[in-house]
Structure 1
Amino acid sequence: MKVAVIGYGAIGSFVVAHLNAEPSIEVAAVFSLPPPLTCPAPGVGSIEALLATRPDLVIECAGHQALREAGETVIRNGTDLLVVSVGALADAALERTLRDAAASGGGRLLIPGGALGGIDAISAAREAGLDSVEYSGRKAPAAWKGTPAEKMIALNAVTSAETFLECDARTAALQFPQNANVVAALALAGLGFEKTKVRLIVDPAANGNNHSFVARGAFGEITATIRSTTLPSNPKTSVLAPFSLIQTIKKRAGLILA
């Protein structure tokens, strides 16, 4: 299978390195601005040049703005698009644009579970009768630096776990694009952005990025807790996030059956 990657930051470089080790998958092109100084795959200077390599799948690893600028072009080209920046779909207009492009005969919009497990169970629960979904994200102060959390709580002064934001999934995903993509994936699988409740917590004792959720309804109850170590190159990103992409790509290539 031939793939192309948009973005060569912490996640993009991680994904390219792992896919290059898989003989059944060819990384045909990487588009990143500025161009990477070193990259094991061919670099291109535009989305048009990336699509000219005729990939079977494009993986977006470049952030919310990149998805806004390139997502529709990729899908209308008839190419499947695997999205890292799931939180960008909290922008209702962007979600509608990409889904309309897919529905009009374009490629498919593919959403990975990312750092969060249990997404398949939430989708099944939605069909069986889902009433409520509540998510909690717990991370160390360093993981919240460079985000709006700095204006909501004095991160350096926190001595024990403190909740600094309670809101719906749309608000969390839009305000914390680097930290809360998981809540967007959860919302899309379940009750939607407005009905998915979110609590964000800073915890000096947190070891890695901690995600948990409780879902209740006619189907029963689902409780899940995930603690993931972070990427050394980016403490905001759980190491499970790029591996979720890699698993999705391998499934798409027929290398994993379940």
Structure 2
Amino acid sequence: MKRADAQGPVALIGFGAIGRTLVDALCNEGIAGGIVVLVREDKVAEAQTDLKRIVAGRSEPARVVSHLDDVIKAQPRVVVECAGHAALGQFGGSVLAAGIDLIVASVGALADDELLDGIRKAAIEGNAQITLPAGAIGGIDALAAARIAGIEQVVYIGRKPPQAWAGSPAEAAVDLSGITKETVIFEDTARQAARRYPKNANVAATLALAGIGMDRTDVRLIADPGVTTNTHEYRVVSSAVDFSMVLTGKPSLLNPKTSQLTVFSLARAVLQRSDRIVI
């Protein structure tokens, strides 16, 4: 099947905090071809209002649709999933089978082997490519290169203030309001982290897919009253290089649970598709 037109619009699945910030970033970079946003029927009016505000004064066309068929008919150069795990499962395979490349924000969903295998097969069927951007983490290039040489160990530590874990299984494990020192709330593999903490698993899943896999990547999640920001730390032991990284994410202004870096990592993945020199 013919790949989508490289000059077509950029399409988004979802238009929450990530989607709105991504459109703004792409418009600021002068993205050509226009924007198509896919949302649920009951979100169309709200999305149209927000999209109109974001693109005001810019010449590129932008529109909101509520059916995937309308996205595919627009022949986008790429589709960016930024709507959560369920959306990737619902739409990812159809996008790829139609010959359209897909950039995935909800990497944690790929801890499900059935979903991973399904979208891989759809990509083969459509001669399309799945891109998993680094998101809120860095050093993925070194990790992926070390994998070729042979990796012995990858350990990821996610550290957040206690109340940042509200609404997660941590509430049943510990009294978040009573924590006075750093407390490990989860320790297991990346696969189990993705299953139990899906809203916090994208970084661990990205490291696992770039490195030694979901079942060999160790994950430790910590509630720490001594911090006010979300910190991602990981260390790698391999035959080619040993290294560690610590990144302190600055939260999105629209959704404090989302790292700003996640959005700009998605924007970079889109923009690189038309760059002549790619780093």
TM-score by length of 2: 0.89
Distance 2:203 2:90 in 1: 22
Instruction: Give 2:51's aligned residue.
Output: 39
Alignment map for 1:12-23 (pairs within 5 Å): 12-23=19-30
Amino acid at match of 1:202: A
Asked whether the 8 Å contact 1:7–1:62 carries over to 2, the reply is yes
Please identify which structure carries the higher helix content.
Answer: 2
Deviation at 1:256, TM superposition (A): 5.9
Asked whether the 8 Å contact 1:16–1:27 carries over to 2, the reply is no
Instruction: Give 1:113's aligned residue.
Output: 134
Given candidates 7, 17, 30, the residue that maps to 1:10 is 17
Asked if 1:234 corresponds to 2:246, the answer is no
Deviation at 1:104, TM superposition (A): 2.7
Distance 1:255 1:157, change over 3 A: farther
Alignment map for 1:203-214 (pairs within 5 Å): 203-214=224-235
Deviation at 1:255, TM superposition (A): 6.8
Distance 1:160 1:232 in 2: 28
Asked if 1:94 corresponds to 2:115, the answer is yes
Asked if 1:51 corresponds to 2:72, the answer is yes
Where 2:31 maps in the other structure, the secondary structure is coil
Instruction: Give 2:211's aligned residue.
Output: 190
Amino acid at match of 2:26: L
Distance 1:121 1:242, change over 3 A: same
Asked whether the 8 Å contact 1:142–1:235 carries over to 2, the reply is no
Distance 1:56 1:115, change over 3 A: same
Greater mean alpha carbon deviation, residues 73-82 or residues 198-207: 198-207
Distance 1:11 1:117 in 2: 18
Instruction: Give 2:85's aligned residue.
Output: 64
Instruction: Give 1:157's aligned residue.
Output: 178
Structure 1 runs not aligned, ≥5 long: none
Amino acid at match of 1:73: S
Asked whether the 8 Å contact 2:188–2:219 carries over to 1, the reply is yes
Q: Which has the larger radius of gyration?
A: 2
Query: Residues 178-204 of structure 1, C-alpha deviation per residue, up to 9 Å, x if partnerless?
Result: 212000000000000000000000112
Query: Residues 109-163 of structure 1, C-alpha deviation per residue, up to 9 Å, x if partnerless?
Result: 1100000101111100011111110000001123211222212221111122111
Where 1:236 maps in the other structure, the secondary structure is coil
Asked whether the 8 Å contact 1:14–1:242 carries over to 2, the reply is yes
Query: Residues 162-221 of structure 1, C-alpha deviation per residue, up to 9 Å, x if partnerless?
Result: 111001001111222221200000000000000000000011222321001111021131
Distance 1:10 1:145 in 2: 19
Instruction: Give 1:245's aligned residue.
Output: 266
Structure 1 outlier segments of 4+, above 6 Å: none
Distance 2:148 2:28 in 1: 38
Q: Identity rate of aligned residues, in percent?
A: 41
Where 1:89 maps in the other structure, the secondary structure is helix
Given candidates 211, 215, 225, the residue that maps to 2:246 is 225
Greater mean alpha carbon deviation, residues 100-109 or residues 112-121: 100-109
Deviation at 1:28, TM superposition (A): 2.8
